[in-house]
A and B are shown apart, each in its own frame.
Chain A
Amino acid sequence: MDQTLNMEQHTELLRFITCGSVDDGKSTLIGRLLYDSKAIFEDQMAAITATSQRRGMSEADLALLTDGLQAEREQGITIDVAYRYFSTPKRRFIIADTPGHEQYTRNMVTGASTADVAIILMDVRKGVLPQTRRHTHIVRLLGIRQIVLAINKMDLVDFDETAFNEVYQSFLNFANPLGFDDIIAVPMSALQGDMVVDRGQSMPWYTGNTLIEVLETVKVDENIQHAPFRFPVQLVNRVRNSDELHERRLYLGRVESGQVSVGDNVVVLPAGESTRIASIDTFDGAIDTAIAGQSVTITLEKQIDISRGDMIAAEDNPPHTDKAFSALICWFSNAGLDINKRLLLRHGTQTVATKIAALEYKLDINQSIHVPTEKIAMNDIVKVMIRVQQPINMDRYENNRPNGSFIIIDELSNDTVAAGMIA
């Protein structure tokens, strides 16, 4: 097979989020990553060079590569998460680029929800800022276990090793108790490019990986492969073969966690009926085993009445089925919680009427303390008791991101007003 094609078909996908306080150099860093990994094309470069010159700069300002919409420029605000793409011969990357400002907690939650890794950007001169703490907490809440600490602007401290170590150590003092699997720090100058994609000449004392090498080698989060099997049914189709008297029921969906093989014992929830996997089909033919992330079609040995929203799960390790549970929710809507509004909860493929039954506390994300609260406003993260009209088949978010997460929808406006993690 052709070498390029071969490379293209066997690369892994890594999704990461970038967080930093305003002016730490996030736009410059992303621009640098895109530029040095050759994801920036001539015409984009020509456009930003022209803009830079118009603004009186001698060199192209790489931060402009991530400049937002015209609507945002006019209003001087960043509206929300932008997604950016680049690749190296080893991996394909998706960056969730989120604005750093305090009022954008909801954007960080959005960006972090699908990320494997977080890059936390720091200005070496400033060290750990309140924003740094806030971002780190949110990233941890959303279940990200690996952090890459990008200690930036090393050129402004003469590339001093001690300055780097001090900032790294103070971050570890703060973050170690939070229980990340891995915290890797890289000293860099996003402006000059040192240790981003190219090593540069300025920091011979640093023998660790460059940022891009770290991103190429950190583990893609595979915990979800080892969690118990969960398959929320998206659609049910019926086919009748001409030589068969009975119709076959096809259950369409995606394996959200774990793996499943033909012959495995499974339970169908909420009915609670046990059966075995008869077949796993794809457009490309039948397969023996499906793994987390794969969209497939399943048939079962027993005829069971199943519809969208039901779940097929490992019989020996089923989810918890209940109509009440506690959860941490992040409020997204401009309008705060109004308990008179009719709300819907979507968990997996299931949509049910819901009520926020009790507010336990609000999380003060800057200081990581619990404060009592009686209301919920935009960007608040609040521990609540949730009740639902029909039972849902859930896991704790900490153990199972896809089956421990939900959104809340305002039934009248149809807006998505909150995101929740089951505690």
Chain B
Amino acid sequence: MSVLNHLDRLESEAIHIMREVAAQSNNPALLFSGGKDSIVLLRLAEKAFRPLSFPFPLVHIDTGHNFSEVIQFRDRRVAELNERLIVRSVEDTIKQGRARVKSDTDSRNALQAITLVDTINEFQFDACIGGARRDEEKARAKERIFSFRDEFGAWDPKNQRPEIWNLYNARVHPGENMRVFPISNWTELDVWSYIARENLAVPDIYYAHRRQVVRRGIQLVPVTHLTPPRDNETVEELWVRFRTVGDITCTCPVASEAKDVQAIIAETAITSVTERGATRMDDQTSEASMELRKKQGYF
């Protein structure tokens, strides 16, 4: 081997970043949702730390609006890895009166930020590793790999540390924290290529399956108990797959017959709609909505 190919380079960079977190932070955590990006993070953590156990617990911020397959997958994967999982739920945040919802079927994506910040305070985490990528959305293109958050969890684009070469500075004062994104430089296609190369299991709903949906704008909205069809919408059963698996009330599948990872890679390589555009109702509302949510403590 004389030169590393691009996946090797991305993998090696991510391992280096995870080890820097372990070395520089006193009390880190890794956010694991059961989605594909965090599944990749877990493999990278294995690559960084095995044969020892991870130097951080796994944390899931549970919106309560889950696809059940994803939660089953989460628990199975954690058991296989024999690592510690901490779950904190948005439901509890609402019960404690720290967040208000108009109705049960409202998206809880934004509320996740409150639960996350509460969880960080509860355990005094000084670094949280997450699976965000810069190619996902405009507000992320300028995100640092080590992203500084103040004691309210807020992201201030003007108060970020320069990242030069591969020299990361994770120092924080008590109460502040770092959000660390080891796969910042990966694209959706890289993630799927890596899942294929590493033969990683992902929840079934990432693969094509028959599902009842309604058409709303460019999106296919799944018919669930939280997202019933509106009047005069026609329910159709189509072959679909999910590209992201977030809050059930705002996550849409795309039409697809890709039943395995090779087929997904082939589709991703020629796809014509961005991951978020096709699948996230919440990012559609305003061009700046991700930026806004990050300022409020969101990932």
Chain A interface residues toward B at CB < 8 A: 2, 4-5, 8-13, 41-44, 47, 67-72, 79-85, 87, 91-92, 94, 106, 109-110, 113-114, 220, 222, 225, 234-235, 237, 239, 252-254, 282-284, 289, 291, 293-295, 308, 332, 346, 349, 401-402, 405-407, 409, 414-416, 419
Are A295 and B193 interface neighbours, CB within 8 A? no
B165 interfacial contact with A, CB 8 Å: yes
Chain A residues in 8 Å Cβ range of B197 = 9
**Complexed CA–CA distance, A405 and B167 (Å):** 9
Are A235 and B19 interface neighbours, CB within 8 A? yes
**Complexed CA–CA distance, A43 and B287 (Å):** 12
Are B46 and A295 interface neighbours, CB within 8 A? no
Are A114 and B16 interface neighbours, CB within 8 A? no
Chain A residues in 8 Å Cβ range of B272 = 41-42
Are A415 and B161 interface neighbours, CB within 8 A? yes
Beyond the given A79-B158, A114-B166, please list 8 additional residue pairs across the A-B interface where CB-CB is below 8 A: A71-B291, A84-B141, A234-B23, A282-B47, A291-B2, A293-B9, A295-B12, A406-B167
Chain A residues in 8 Å Cβ range of B5 = 9-13
Are B164 and A113 interface neighbours, CB within 8 A? yes
B212 interfacial contact with A, CB 8 Å: no
**Complexed CA–CA distance, A8 and B285 (Å):** 34
Are A69 and B138 interface neighbours, CB within 8 A? yes
Are B162 and A110 interface neighbours, CB within 8 A? yes
Are A4 and B164 interface neighbours, CB within 8 A? no
Are B169 and A416 interface neighbours, CB within 8 A? yes
**Complexed CA–CA distance, A85 and B5 (Å):** 16
Chain A residues in 8 Å Cβ range of B19 = 234-235, 252-253, 295
B15 interfacial contact with A, CB 8 Å: yes
A332 partner, pick from B4, B22, B162, B173, beta carbons under 8 A: B162
Complex: chain B residue closest to A417, CB-CB: B162
Could you list 27 examples of A-B contacts with CB < 8 Å? Answer: A5-B262, A8-B265, A9-B7, A9-B193, A12-B6, A42-B272, A42-B273, A43-B218, A43-B274, A67-B138, A68-B138, A68-B142, A69-B138, A222-B2, A222-B3, A252-B19, A283-B50, A291-B4, A294-B12, A295-B19, A295-B48, A308-B23, A349-B23, A405-B167, A406-B167, A414-B172, A416-B161
B4 partner, pick from A71, A253, A294, beta carbons under 8 A: A294
B189 partner, pick from A87, A401, A419, beta carbons under 8 A: A87
B271 interfacial contact with A, CB 8 Å: yes
Report the minimum CB–CB distance from A68 to chain B (whole Å).
7
Chain A residues in 8 Å Cβ range of B78 = none
B51 interfacial contact with A, CB 8 Å: yes
Chain A residues in 8 Å Cβ range of B139 = 69
Given contacts A113-B165, A407-B164, contact A79 B278 (CB under 8 A): no
Are B10 and A13 interface neighbours, CB within 8 A? yes
Are B4 and A414 interface neighbours, CB within 8 A? no
Beta-carbon contacts under 8 Å, B166-197 to A: 166-167, 169, 171-173, 184-185, 187, 189-190, 193, 196-197
Chain B residues in 8 Å Cβ range of A11 = 5-6
Report the minimum CB–CB distance from A228 to chain B (whole Å).
17
**Complexed CA–CA distance, A12 and B1 (Å):** 13
Complex: chain B residue closest to A222, CB-CB: B3
